[in-house]
Amino acid sequence: MKTRTLIALPLVAIVALAGCTEPGYMNDPNSKTQKGAITGALIGGIVGLAQGDGAGKAAAGAVIGGAVGAGIGNALDKQAADLRQDLGNDNVTIVNTGSQLIVTLPQDILFATDSAVVRAGLQSDLGALARNLQDYPSTTVQVVGHTDNTGSASYNQDLSTRRASSVSAILIANGTASYRIQSYGRGEDAPVATNLTAEGRAQNRRVEIVISPNT
């Protein structure tokens, strides 16, 4: 009986996660909170099992993990909504993964060709992002530069690093604590689209700001 209970807990969480793929789920404003709760419950249950004492600790771990996951998901939902309102820039995308916010700024609105100097028009958007980060201080921030594959890999790596540093410097100048920010470039190593078309290369030229709650 105990073995069945131990197996059932992860299976329940997996079934619940599968339900998240039902049509309309991604349009549910509570979907990220739910996903965070389910993921937290699954992790908590597994940790409880690892600690021994059978189903009791597994169930307690699932409850605690679910509560923590739901709290993280809810906080990210609210931060994402506030940030969309503050930015008001359709060229900037904000994706809530349930455990992180990923803010993507296309390179072509941030920088001139081969430049690491942020365009004046985008500095106000980065200022709004910095204020949002101050409103939600319990997070860490990664600023990651990306390029397409035009030119040499070493040049692209250097350019992406300098661009990430430029964005980080503006966030810090607008009040974000420097200890919260890590910036680095990935060059052409992490494309999100094909480099065989102009449209794909444009998508690959970007700076991503990854906001992660402290746990």
Q: For position 195, what pLDDT does the model report?
A: 98
The torsion of the CA quartet 193, 125, 145, 195, rounded to 10 degrees, works out to 20
Tell me the CATH architecture of domain 95-213: 2-Layer Sandwich (3.30)
Mean pLDDT over 99-111 rounds to 95
Q: For position 89, what pLDDT does the model report?
A: 87
Mean pLDDT over 168-174 rounds to 98
Confidence of residue 7 (pLDDT cuts 50, 70, 90): very low
Confidence of residue 202 (pLDDT cuts 50, 70, 90): very high
Q: What pTM value is reported for the model?
A: 0.70
Whether residue 54 is predicted with pLDDT greater than 90 in this model: the reply is no
Q: For position 43, what pLDDT does the model report?
A: 52
E strands in 43-106: 93-96, 101-106
| Other beta carbons less than 10 A from residue 196's beta carbon | 9
